[in-house]
Amino acid sequence: MRNYKVVALIMLFWFVISFITNILGPLIPDIISNFDLKQFTLAGYIPMSFFLAYAVMSIPAGIMIEKLSEKTVLLIGFTMPFIGSLLFALIPCYPVLLASCFIIGLGMAMLQTVINPLTRVAGGEENFAFFSVMGQLVFGFASFISPFVYSYLVRELTIPGTDKNFFINFLAGITPEQLPWVSLYWVFTMILIVILLIVIGNRFPKMTLKDDEKSGSLTSYKTLLRNKYVYLFFLGIFCYVATEQGIANWISKFLEDYHGIDPQNEGASIVGSFWGLMSLGCVLGLLLLKLFDSKIVLRYAASFSIILLLCALFGSTKISMFCFPLIGFTISVIFSIVMSLGLNSVSKYHGSFAGILCSGIVGGAVGPVIVGFLADIFGLRIAMLAMTITLGYIISISFWAKPLVSNKTVSLKKILHYER
């Protein structure tokens, strides 16, 4: 029996997850300035703490969804970011921000582990692909919106005047005057209270995990780890997430330092556009994968990403502001293609292999720190060039990958009904 009410709740969950997790990029310039961080590396530790939590929680989360009820996992998953957001809202300082991001990351890892199988059960196996794409669109929309919410809050809390709405006046009373962006964490806290009440007040269908959703046996991991392609595809996921986060978290700071762009307004909107176009790119990617071999799509996606990154780093202000968001569009298909090529390269133990590949998300902890470290030595422009190396590795996958099953394609002529 289909439960579309639960599917609607899952879309809401995706929105909240994205709204909270992808805001760090626009905040980096404020964090560096307000906390007087003398090194870019210190700023890189902030997204690092979030993604380290993902790496720590990935396997335990997989075990938890097999042992605990769906509602329990959801409650624990949303309680963690609630604690992390409230902690930083109450004590806004750099060490607490690191702890907050780690706690939020623990919860988000749990939530992403439970939401996919819950979507399949609630929406039906036949609708799973559709609702997964819908989830990606909602995720991207929330990432697009959150920087604009940040800009609005900072603007309203810093512009003098008494003609403010009740909510802004309330936030002004609990947010440090010199740290208006911290109000965003109060907003996160309030949203998460509502979400927790929604979870408590609803019933969720019992999940029956498929083989590729289970954590797998020790034997399966031992067998997989003797296969060199497991390491190569793990590195592919690692490089992708390192690239995504290594670019997204430094866009606003780059535009501020090299082009004088206000990070609280235009800089934030550019980052929002990066995530928004990534969502649209996922949809276009579905079409491209029906027309072309996935390795060809991967090759061109990574190649165009390198070209756009070079233009963004060395072009004029207008070119830079145009190209950075487009990188989100071109890299959007990379994660899913590398994941599918990897899973299609082994004949069994797909659940265990998926867990290994997903742990490659730890690349998000390394990418921003590498850029920050190099920026302290060579400057941010040269530092971000390191992402061309990770993209270069992704291009190499399109040449050496040998999937047992290739993606099914149809000719454009057939789609357009040209054949006579």
Block residue for tokens 């599917």: 7
Banded pLDDT at 213 (limits 50, 70, 90):
low
pLDDT at 211: 60
Distance CA 117, CA 6 (A): 12
The answer, yes or no, to whether residue 406 has pLDDT greater than 80, is: no
Identify the top-confidence range among 53-62, 122-131, 160-169, 259-268: 259-268
Distance CA 316, CA 402 (A): 41
Banded pLDDT at 417 (limits 50, 70, 90):
low
Q: What is the 3-state secondary structure (H, E, C) of the chain?
A: CCCHHHHHHHHHHHHHHHHHHCCHHHHHHHHHHHCCCCCHHHHHHHHHHHHHHHHHHHHHHHHHHHHCCHHHHHHHHHHHHHHHHHHHHHCCCHHHHHHHHHHHHHHHHHHHHHHHHHHHHHHCHHHHHHHHHHHHHHHHHHHHHHHHHHHHHHHHHHCCCCCCCHHHHHHHHHCCCCCHHHHHHHHHHHHHHHHHHHHHCCCCCCCCCCHHHCCCCHHHHHHHCCCHHHHHHHHHHHHHHHHHHHHHCCHHHHHHHHHCCCHHHHHHHHHHHHHHHHHHHHHHHHHHHHHCCHHHHHHHHHHHHHHHHHHHHHCCHHHHHHHHHHHHHHHCCHHHHHHHHHHCCCCCCHHHHHHHHHHHHHHHHHHHHHHHHHHHHHCHHHHHCCHHHHHHHHHHHHHHCCCCCCCCCCCHHHHCCCCC
pLDDT at 173: 92
Identify the top-confidence range among 94-108, 125-139, 160-174: 94-108
Banded pLDDT at 418 (limits 50, 70, 90):
very low
Does residue 419 come out as left (phi exceeding 0), alpha (psi in the -120 to 50 range) or beta?
beta
Banded pLDDT at 65 (limits 50, 70, 90):
confident
Retrieve residue 271's tokens.
């980052």
Banded pLDDT at 407 (limits 50, 70, 90):
low
**94-110 pLDDT, tens per residue?**
999 999 999 999 999 88
pLDDT at 209: 64
Distance CA 302, CA 395 (A): 6
Q: Are 202 and 168 in contact (CB under 8 A)?
A: no
The answer, yes or no, to whether residue 300 has pLDDT greater than 50, is: yes
**182-207 pLDDT, tens per residue?**
999 999 999 999 999 999 998 888 86
Banded pLDDT at 412 (limits 50, 70, 90):
low
As a whole number, the mean pLDDT across the chain is 88
**238-291 pLDDT, tens per residue?**
999 999 999 999 999 999 999 999 999 999 999 999 999 998 888 888 788 788
Higher pLDDT, residue 227 or 124? 227
Banded pLDDT at 320 (limits 50, 70, 90):
very high
pLDDT at 217: 66
The answer, yes or no, to whether residue 166 has pLDDT greater than 70, is: yes
The answer, yes or no, to whether residue 411 has pLDDT greater than 80, is: no
Q: What is the mean pLDDT of residues 305-325?
A: 97
Of 64-78, 90-104, 114-128, 373-387, where does mean pLDDT reach its minimum? 114-128
pLDDT at 419: 45
| Domains with residue ranges and CATH for the chain | 1-215 (1.20.1250.20), 216-403 (1.20.1250.20)
Of 172-176, 211-215, 261-265, where does mean pLDDT reach its minimum? 211-215
Instruction: Please report, rounded to a whole number, the percentage of residues in the chain having pLDDT higher than 90.
Output: 60
Retrieve residue 150's tokens.
């940040």
Distance CA 173, CA 135 (A): 36
pLDDT at 116: 78
**338-377 pLDDT, tens per residue?**
988 888 888 777 777 777 888 888 899 999 999 999 999 9
Q: What is the pTM (predicted TM-score) of this model? A: 0.88
Q: Are 246 and 390 in contact (CB under 8 A)?
A: yes
Of 1-10, 80-89, 214-223, where does mean pLDDT reach its minimum? 214-223
